[in-house]
Structure 1
Amino acid sequence: MQLSTLDYSFIIVFFAIVLGIGIYVSKKSGKDSSEFFLSGRTMPWWLLGLSMVATTFSTDTPNLVTDIVRTNGVSGNWVWWAFLITGLLTVFIYAKLWRRSNVNTDLEFYEMRYGGKAASFLRKFRAVYLGALFNIITMASVTLAAIKIGGIMLGLEPWETVVGAGLITVTFSALGGFKGVVYTDFLLFFVAMSGAIGAAYYLVNIPEVGGIDALMANEVVKTKLDIIPDFSNRNALIMLFIIPLAVQWWSSWYPGAEPGGGGYIAQRMLAAKDENHAIGATFFFNIMHYALRPWPWILVALASLVVYPDIASIQEAFPNMDETKLGHDLAYSAMLTKLPSGLLGVVLASLIAAYMSTISTQLNWGSSYIVFDFYKQQINPKATEKQMVAVGRISTVVLMVFSAVLALALENALQIFDILLTFGAGTGLIFILRWFWWRINAWSEITAMFASGIISILLKTTALGPLLFNAEDGVFPNWFEYPFVVIVTTVIWLSATFLTQAESQETLRSFYKRIQPGGPGWAKIVREAEADGEKIKKDDEKWSVPQGITAMLLGCVLIYTIMFATGYWIYGRTTPALILSAIALVSAFLLIKAWGRMKEHIL
């Protein structure tokens, strides 16, 4: 595929602006570690919210959605749509708690909530486990998508894409720090959204597809349109709908959708001006992420079924593509090759924007773990601000190199998504409860982390998985694998919780005094403190969790109805679209009232 001068102009101008921003903020970002990783905790909600959206607008997301739609239909997206519940719990319950903690990273939380050597080990281990291992896997997934886009659209070899895209991104990330990431995310969001919508509109109307009406009437596409899985298909209903909504959202740790908040979402909440800005940023993110953004990708995925009905047709159209990278996720890139000059440049710039936004965020977040939670804790407790910024920049480069190497060995996006989900299965409940139940201790988290990982590895790499979950003669049905990991991991960590000693009164009281979590799970600690003449509960602090849960439920109704109404408007199904739109308006009104009551509980 040949790019025109106009296409190259869009891309070059975009690169120049992004690198210019990185260079412009580099001096201030390098002033100290707080500036480099949290921008001095002065960020407004709208800028942080857009940054969260831009970060999750990665190059692998449209590939993943395309893979899901082509394999399991539109309803297959419930594997990630269910995480909206997690996201809104973070908005209405956990965002203010994270902002109150005033930590530099979410891992610093461990030595605030827990005590002793176990807490110190947990913090250091997870700094490497999440900041390096999981972070590298996530970035490799994004880089794999860039490799496929580069191979399909530009005919680039995998190493050429990795070197070209990675070099620019790592330079910008190392220079600009968190402020550079957030500032450029503002630009990247609008570029990426424009490219996605423009591509969807054009590709649905190419002659091979024939417009939206012809697309909806296509026999292959019609079987993929259901937003809720077919109830007559029991296996699909359980795997694609029931398990995500009943189990997955609260039980699994997944980057960007951590139960109780965490990762780069927590980083942005910690960078907010105050609690209200942290809440506003996360709510804005969830609306944009779930309600509005998926449909351009879904439309392209549906159109790809008409043009490239199977993998063989993709291979036939792109015979030079590496066979190890062939998969349904390639269909998105394959469709983009049909864009005209000008729009092609915008879309390529938008994909580059998506790649840079996600990778730069992951690099800055991951290096913050390495600096604050490993280097300063383990290697150099007396590190100066200048040394910490230097280590942050070096670790940024190292993380990029390792993720690029791994990306060259991976094959498809859905494969990585499944690995990450299963690997964190069963740990999510701890992240939800640790704020509100005093009895959870450091050993609860250590046990859950290792149990989930070991069980997942055994099921994925040995004969145990097929033996237990074979669809034909296994001990359990194949859909039970994920709940099995959750159940076993939960039993193990609960056992460890009650078999090990609780955290000290000093640690628990100090945590309560700082965070004011409230609720019956801390009643024992509050009573014992009062009996000792120590006041740890503020008189004006009311427990806001019941109001938060109400707001979360109303928020779920609002965002899901907007998402589904949008889909039905696109499908041309006016009646359900009108009904859902009306429900969205009512739920928005009720949510505004609930939010007004909640604000009374925010300090």
Structure 2
Amino acid sequence: MANLTILDWIVVIFFLTLFIFIGIRFRGKAGSSLTDFFLGGRNMPWYLAGVSMVATTFAADTPLWVTEKIAQHGISGNWLWWNMLIGGMLTTFFFARMWRRANILTELELLELRYSGPIARLLRGVKAVYLGLFLNVVIIAWVNAALISIIEVFFEVPYETAFWVVTCVMFLVLIYSSIAGLLGIAITDFAQFIIAMTGCIILAVIVLNAPEVGGVEGLKAKLPAWRLSFFPKIDGAGDALIGTFSLTTGAFLSYIFLQWWASWYPGAEPGGGGYISQRMMGAKDEKNAVYSSLFFQIAHYALRPWPWIIVGLCALVLYPDLPVEESRKGFIMVMRDYLPDGIKGLLFVGFLSAYMSTISTQLNWGSSYLTNDLYKRFIKKEDQFENEEKAQKHYVFAGRLITIFVMLVGLGVTTQITTIDSAAQFLIASGAGLGMVLILRWYWWRINAWSELVATIAPFIGLAFAKFVLPSYVPETFYTNNGDFIFTVLFTTISWLTVTFLTSPTDGETLKRFYDRVQPGGFWRYYRGDENNNRLTPYLFVSWLSGVLMVYSILFFMGYFIFEEWTLFYTWLALAIIGFVALRWGMKKAEI
């Protein structure tokens, strides 16, 4: 293929071979049981689990999406995902220890630990298909579409050729992920993340210092000031196609006070979930679970974005005629046009690494639900085997076959994903209002299986009503204030609250068993003994809020350092130090 020299191809082949070698190297640690295959034997240190979380959220689509937001709204457009730090840090301090303490194989296994009766079994089966297959293949297709775009632009080949290249890469991922299980995936993630971030940092430095850009001063001179603003404009006219990320008061309040707890989104699930909870459940112990999640919040929100942002801004200078709807391609064009031989191959491997780390996790995670919570629970139960050893080997084999199935469905759905942004908006909208149930099921005994089932279904009904019925009855300002999202959250919340009080609670024996194992705080007065699990709650709140302050402050002082805004740099550096000191105090008091 054009644009890569022999040196570049040597780099590409070397690292792809390394990834396959890691998978083969750890094949023996994944084949004995489902716990080994899907949780790495529950023995991962915090840094391995944490880096694996970060690597998974660094998909091939992520820098492209950030570039698209910068083309539309400048740096401030990143608040569309920066706001989710609040919920992520909540997961770190209020849920990480409980996920590890629950001693379950998958997130969905929690449902029958927490709820009782036929509805709990139904909920587990429905969510196994909904999350493990339906939403999972949307994410896989979304990531595939991004890599296809990269290959189309980078190598200047047609869509069909790029699609088949991605298919081949996906088969490579299938080989090592199905052989090595989660431990091998996590170790591969570690290597892939280092490669991907190193490549992005090198790219940012090279393109920023290109003569056409002229360094930081050149960037400031050639772009309007609003492009470099870190914060959205409040009380604006709404989210215009191009311009500072402008929010009405209603939209701003929905981002700050609603979205981070109300919406289900991959990597930012309220209360934890998906591959985030999978890594926490696979950690060595509760402390490693907390530290893995804390590292993820810091790296994901504060350390990782700036190379992408710099490249996105430089792309605006280098390709001023690139249409906004194609702006995500600017990142790839910078790679193609400005990297020297060898480094170009390294960054291409970096994007392949980002892609492979995400796809390997999605295949393993989705397969864990379909294997443990559908096949094992309802189709081929353990009591049908002579002994546990035979059962476990059979389930691992079934998990590998299901991984292949998920991959094939994901490839089929890939052809239906038109834009990265549309997939992201769909995922956020389809979970609006579900988040509060996912949080309260740990802290309030009255939440039952009906609550969660209704909260899973209601967003689709509420969203459809807001999109197709309400426009005839509400003014346009309703939507500029993010009214459709707010309506969906309120509709979902009213629905699950109503159903909760109209249906019977989970039976007392199940609630007592859940409480004794997980030891949650909150409202469990009928089931706790003399212990007071709420005594640490004030310190958990201090840890949560100071952690949010620290990470945002790190994000901003790094940005102001890059742009040589020294007064603001020192201000945010001081706030980061204050946040760190308060965080350490809170964690010590919370016995973390």
Paired residue total: 572
Equivalent pair of 2:247/2:481 in contact (CA under 8 Å): no
Which of 390, 409, 432 is 2:416 aligned to? 409
- After TM superposition, give the deviation of residue 27 of structure 1 in Å: 2.4
After TM superposition, the structure 1 stretch with the greater mean CA deviation from structure 2, 393-402 or 92-101, is: 393-402
The CA distance in 2 between the partners of 1:7 and 1:470, in whole Å, is: 55
Gaps of 5+ in 1: 315-325, 527-535
> What CA distance in whole angstroms lies between the structure 1 residues aligned with 2:12 and 2:560?
35
Task: Mark the CA change 1:216 to 1:128 in structure 2 (over 3 Å): closer, same or farther.
Answer: same
Query: CA separation of 1:299/1:107 partners in 2, compared to 1, >3 Å: closer, same or farther?
Result: same
Match among 578, 581, 586 for residue 594 of structure 1: 586
AA of the residue aligned to 1:40: G
Q: Give the root-mean-square deviation of aligned CA atoms.
A: 1.8
Which residue of the other structure, out of 519, 522, 525, is the alignment partner of 2:524? Answer: 522
Distance 1:255 1:103 in 2: 20
The separation in 2 between residues aligned to 1:70 and 1:476, in whole angstroms, is 22
The amino acid of 1:348's aligned partner reads F
State, as a whole percentage, how many aligned pairs show the same letter.
40
The correspondence of residues 144-293 of structure 1 with structure 2, limited to 5 A, is 144-156=145-157, 157-220=161-224, 222-231=225-234, 233-235=236-238, 236-238=246-248, 241-293=252-304
SS in 2 for 1:424: coil
Return the alpha-carbon distance in structure 2 between the equivalents of residues 411 and 110 of structure 1: 34
SS at match of 2:513: helix
Once the two structures are TM-superposed, the CA of residue 129 in structure 1 deviates from its matched residue by 0.2
CA distance in 2, matches of 1:577, 1:468: 48
The alpha-carbon distance between structure 1 residues 542 and 465, as it changes in their structure 2 partners (threshold 3 A), is: closer
Tell me the amino acid that sits aligned with residue 136 of structure 1.
Answer: V
Aligned-pair distance for 1:437?
0.6
Distance 2:373 2:234 in 1: 47
**CA offsets 1:470-502 (integer angstroms, 9 cap, x no match):** 637xx6646211111101111111111111111
What's the offset of the Cα at 1:423? 0.5
Q: Is the 8 A contact 2:466 2:488 kept in 1?
A: no
Q: How far apart, in 1, do the equivalents of 2:101 and 2:270 lie?
A: 18
* 1:402 to 1:513, Cα distance in 2 relative to 1, 3 A: same
Q: Tell me how far apart the structure 1 counterparts of residues 171 and 27 of structure 2 sit (CA, whole Å).
A: 17
Q: TM-score, normalised by structure 1?
A: 0.92
Q: Give me the whole-angstrom Cα distance separating, in 2, the residues matched to 1:408 and 1:510.
A: 46
Aligned to 2:124: 123
Q: How many angstroms does 1:176 deviate by?
A: 1.1
Whether the aligned pair in 2 keeps the contact of 1:79 and 1:241 (CA below 8 Å) is no
User: In the alignment, is the contact (CA less than 8 A) between 2:556 and 2:569 conserved in 1?
Assistant: yes
Which of 148-157 and 352-361 deviates more? 148-157
- SS of equivalent residue, structure 1 residue 223: helix
Question: What's the CA shift for 1:169?
Answer: 1.0
1:428 corresponding residue in structure 2: 435
Equivalent residue number for residue 309 of structure 1: 320
Which SS does the other structure have where 2:16 is aligned? helix
Q: Distance in 2 between matches of 1:11 and 1:456?
A: 44
Superposition pairs of residues 427-466 of structure 1, within 5 angstroms: 427-459=434-466, 463-464=468-469, 466=471
Q: Is the CA contact (8 Å cut-off) linking 1:469 and 1:480 kept in structure 2?
A: no
Q: 1:552 to 1:160 in 2, by over 3 A?
A: same
Displacement, 1:466?
A: 4.4
**Aligned partner of 2:399 among 386, 392, 416:** 392
Q: Secondary structure at the match of 1:522?
A: coil
Partner amino acid, structure 1, of 2:247? L
In structure 2, the CA distance between the partners of 1:159 and 1:540, relative to structure 1 (3 Å rule), is same
Instruction: After superposition, give the CA deviation of every residue in 1:412-465 in whole Å (9 maximum; x if it has no partner).
Output: 2111111100000010011111111111110001111111123334555xx336
Distance 2:545 2:185 in 1: 32
Q: Distance in 1 between matches of 2:281 and 2:558?
A: 33
CA distance in 2, matches of 1:407, 1:594: 45
Question: Who is 1:333 aligned against?
Answer: 332
Per-residue CA deviation, residues 385-437 of structure 1 (Å, 9 max, x unaligned), is 11111111111111111112222221221111111000000100111111111
Distance across 2 between alignment mates of 1:232 and 1:453: 29
TM-score norm. by structure 2 comes to: 0.93
Q: Which amino acid aligns with 1:208?
A: E
Is the contact between residue 174 and residue 396 of structure 1 (CA under 8 Å) also seen in structure 2? Answer: yes
Q: Which amino acid aligns with 2:364?
A: N
Q: Which amino acid aligns with 2:524?
A: W
Moved over 4 A (4+): 457-460, 475-478
**What residue identity is the alignment partner of 2:330?**
A
Q: Matches of 1:241 and 1:310 in 2, distance apart?
A: 31
Give CA-to-partner distance per residue, 1:98-155, whole Å, 9 cap, x none.
Answer: 1110000010000011000111011111011001011101111111110000101123
